[in-house]
Structure 1
């Protein structure tokens, strides 16, 4: 299959899938994810996870998080930084601890393996959540701000825990210098990102806007998006985190509204649909029956661990139970960080191929379920808000 045919099939099927999802009142992302599963190796085998799909999906998730930053509200994020950090910490402790205890005490894994499996469940991917929040106009609600802030903190915590885990698995042990080398670049990234966002980004956009060329502002925004993403990767952070901070920096400038209208068509016309399809393409049901009980229990822990841990963190800062459940549901989705942790565990021989496959299946299925849970709680909250207004009137 040529790359042109591949793109033709993906773009055609994702729009049909999104349409059918909306017809049945599901988030559109569900249809796009199911396209990957049904058309991919798991069912029909029409599509496969090729290099084209990989690179387009990488660009897709980067642009998606860049758009989330563009539509963000820095003041609101700063306002809710304390609950965001609390939510992230509880959202790591509860699923990681629960999964580790399950694996060690019920299935007889070593504590080393159990902790790595637990760490896979600790990693939140907010890219799916962003899509649902955008569709339901909740991006700049306080729940949305807490989810995005907690996702940033969650990413940092997971990177640090992964580094610590690798150090303990390795033969050299963990030293203070090693930990400083691990954590130092992450802290430095935030300092550099803040300084660039405050001083460099506005001037860069001003200069580019005066060039005698077409689409100057749009090109400048894309340059900043990829530049921040590359900076994040070079300092041991996720590329989507860098893209998000680039968007957030631009959101504080006068170019925000104009660039939002320009960037969204680029992302949603091609790259973002490929990203959602790629998640479905990664799933395979081969050998799943051998670990079905293990997989089901991990899925339950993956969902309830984030829902309960993050929900309680939000509730502790004055949100209603409905709003707290939105925060919990918004943190359920797993993604690239979970896949990275699983791959590290496999390469370190901490888990075997069968259990690696099981973790991938848990990650993908959890990601499929998460938008449904999030939409359910948002709709319930909206009904409560309407009811409360009617009571007042």
Structure 2
């Protein structure tokens, strides 16, 4: 199938699947993820994760997180930095520790392999969570701000832990941990200065250019430029894109640019990203590790749900809100795949267990939006019940 035919099939089927997902009262992203499973190697085998799909999906997740930043509230993020950091920390400790004990004690993995297995389960990717929060109008709430802040902290913690583990076990030629931390610190300083002093002037200049959609182009230049800077500094590209959007959200250009950029992302790039996740699933050889995979999936889900939920509860959120935070951190993503690739290339795990980890990553990503929607609906019911009681008492 040519790349144009692949794009035709993906865009057609994702929009139809998203439509029926919404009709069935499920997040639209579920339909798009399932399209990837159905047309990919797991079932029909029409489309494979080619270089074209990989690059297109990478652009999709970058644009998605850029839009999330545009719709974000920097003041809300700053306000809830302490619970966000605590949520990220416990959200790493609980699943990593549990997975280590599971792999080392129950399945007799080496200490090295168990450490890396645990690190795979520690990584959070909120790109899909962001989509569900947007659909359910929960992005700019206390729980939404904590999830976004915790995802940023989680990414940093995972990078640091990966560097430490690689240095200790000598699995690859990684730079020193202190250099990595210094580069991360410099990244945040540079982004802060760019956001405060350069972004407003840069967009003003582009708005005055006599060129078609120059202001939109200016925003996308900032998005990709900051994403590239993040990669240079050893961070995730989606983190850079998110901060670029957040910087623009503090300017007068926010609403105008949001209306321009959302169609670009949701019409073409973002659906390919969601499908690409489903394309990574293959059931070949799965029967040999079925018990291992099931236990890891349970560990991955409960580890984040319990760890992050308890951390949120420590800051006096209701149990319902705490569960929303926990569910919002369940999804895994690119950082989990990075850790799994490091473990495979360093011969700490074999190909079968690598496939198992990819399956765990994808399945938790599929399950996460369903769990999140369930807790949000439960939260909505409690709010409605409280409102009804207060009206009766008046």
**TM over 0.5: same fold?**
yes
- Equivalents in 2 of 1:173, 1:148: separation in Å? 31
Deviations 1:337-363 (A, max 9, x none): 000000000001111111000000000
What is aligned with 1:28?
28
Correspondence for 1:302: 300
- Aligned match of 1:332: 330
Structure 2 CA distance for partners of 1:171 and 1:23, relative to 1, 3 Å:
closer
Relative to structure 1, the CA distance from residue 76 to residue 44 in structure 2 (aligned partners, 3 Å threshold; closer, same or farther) is same
TM-score after normalising by structure 2: 0.98
CA distance in 1 between counterparts of 2:360 and 2:321 reads: 26
Partner of 1:373: 371
TM-score computed with the length of structure 1 as normaliser:
0.98
Q: Which moved more, 1:320-329 or 1:49-58?
A: 49-58
Shift in Å, 1:47? 1.2
In structure 2, how many angstroms separate the alpha carbons of the residues matched to 1:378 and 1:295? 28
- Identify if the C-alpha distance between structure 1 residues 383 and 171 changes in structure 2 by more than 3 Å, giving closer, same or farther: closer
Partner SS, residue 211 of structure 1? coil
Greater CA drift, 43-52 or 368-377:
43-52
- Which one of 171, 185, 188 corresponds to residue 187 of structure 1? 185
Deviations 1:43-99 (A, max 9, x none): 001111111111110000000000000000000000000000000000000000000
Give the alignment partner of residue 350 of structure 2, picking from 349, 352, 365.
352
Cα distance in 2 for partners of 1:62, 1:94 equals 28
Corresponding residue pairs, total = 391
Matches within 5 A, 1:237-276: 237-276=235-274
For residues 280-319 of structure 1, the aligned pairs below 5 Å read 280-319=278-317
Q: Does residue 234 of structure 2 align to residue 215 of structure 1?
A: no
- Deviation digits for residues 264-301 of structure 1 (CA, Å, limit 9, x no counterpart): 00000000000000000011000000000000000000
CA-CA distance at 1:180 after TM superposition: 1.4
| 5+ residue gaps, structure 2 | none
Tell me the secondary structure at the aligned position of residue 139 of structure 1.
coil
Q: Distance in 2 between matches of 1:105 and 1:171?
A: 22
Does structure 1 residue 40 correspond to structure 2 residue 56? no
Structure 1 spans left out of the alignment, 5+ residues: none
Which residue does the alignment assign to 2:199? Answer: 201
Write the distance in 2 (CA, Å) between the matches of 1:39 and 1:336: 21
Q: CA RMSD in A?
A: 1.2
Structure 2: distance between partners of 1:55 and 1:173: 26
Instruction: Provide the residue aligned with 2:341 in structure 1.
Output: 343
- TM-superposed CA distance for 1:182, in Å, is 2.0
Tell me, in whole angstroms, the C-alpha distance in 1 between the residues paired with 2:40 and 2:309: 34
How far is the alpha carbon of 1:19 from its aligned partner? 1.0
When residues 113 and 85 of structure 1 are mapped into structure 2, their CA distance, relative to the original with a 3 A threshold, is: same
Provide the rounded CA distance (Å) in 2 between the counterparts of 1:80 and 1:381. 20
SS in 1 for 2:367: helix
Runs of 4+ in structure 1 deviating by more than 6 angstroms, as ranges, are 171-174
* Cα pair 2:166 2:172 within 8 Å, conserved: no
Shift of 1:173: 10
Q: Describe the SS at the equivalent of 1:214.
A: coil
